[in-house]
Copies of this chain bind each other. A is one copy, B any other.
Amino acid sequence: MKVILIHNEDKPSQYAGRELKTYQEVRLQNTENLRKIVVDAAAAILQEEGPEAVTVRKVSQKMGCSTKIIYSLFVNKEGLAQQLYLEGCKLLAQRFEEVSPSSDPLQHLLDLGEAFWQFGQDHTSYYKLMFGGAFAEFKPDAESMQGTMTAISRLLILISTAQQQGQISDEEETGTIVSAIWASLHGVIHLYMSGFLGDVDAAHTVYRQTMVLLSQSLFAVSK
With contact pairs A136-B134, A213-B218, A220-B216 given, residues A184 and B179 touching in the complex (Cβ less than 8 Å): no
Q: Compute how far the CA of A210 lies from the CA of B179 in the bound complex, rounded to whole angstroms.
A: 9
Contact A210 B183 (CB under 8 A): yes
Q: Compute how far the CA of A106 lies from the CA of B94 in the bound complex, rounded to whole angstroms.
A: 39
In the complex, A133 has a CB within 8 A of chain B: yes
Q: Which of A191, A213, A217, A218 has the most chain B CB within a 10 Å cutoff?
A: A213
Contact B188 A180 (CB under 8 A): yes
Q: Which residues of B contact A180 (CB under 8 A)?
A: 188, 206, 209-210, 213
Contact A217 B206 (CB under 8 A): no
For the complex with contacts A131-B196, A184-B188, 5 further pairs of A-B residues with Cβ separation under 8 Å are A52-B136, A148-B196, A183-B190, A213-B213, A217-B220
| Number of identical monomers bound together in the oligomeric complex | 2
With contact pairs A190-B190, A217-B213, A217-B217 given, residues A179 and B195 touching in the complex (Cβ less than 8 Å): no
Q: Can you offer 14 A-B residue contacts whose CB atoms are under 8 A?
A: A131-B194, A133-B133, A133-B134, A136-B136, A145-B196, A179-B206, A179-B209, A183-B187, A183-B190, A184-B210, A187-B187, A213-B213, A214-B217, A216-B217
